[in-house]
Amino acid sequence: MLMNNMFSNTKLLEKALDASLMRNEVIANNISNVDTPGYKKKAVRFEELLHSAMGNGQDLNIDGIEPEVYTDNANLSYRTDGNNVDIDVQMADMAKNTIKYNVLIARMNGKFNSIKTVLKSSY
């Protein structure tokens, strides 16, 4: 039971890392298209999907939750060329995502160290 719980938490961290990596790629793509007329920024939806799945009262099936990229049509009037990328917001989002990624990596390392400790103590 303890090992199943440890591995299910590891699976959740893995999914969150996947979402963070995807978010980094999407933000980098937004930044590279900051001067492309008509470009609409993209974003990643993961945490919302996770909260929604947790709130439905059923057993959480983490395998069924995948991060998804969507077009963010907010701030369409931001610029006259139809591009809605705000470079300052994207740079702040990139910094925030990098911090989140580093925290997730640290948590994943902690989980693996816990599993290693459990395995060592059982011999």
Identify each DSSP E strand in the chain by its residue range: 42-45, 68-71
pLDDT digit string (tens) for 21-77? 999 999 999 999 999 999 999 999 999 998 888 877 666 778 889 999 999 988 776
Domain layout of the chain by residue ranges: 2-121
Q: Tell me the whole-structure pTM to 2 decimals.
A: 0.82
- In Å, how far from its chain's centre is CA 55? 19
Residue 93's nearest CA partner among 51, 43, 45, 47 is 43
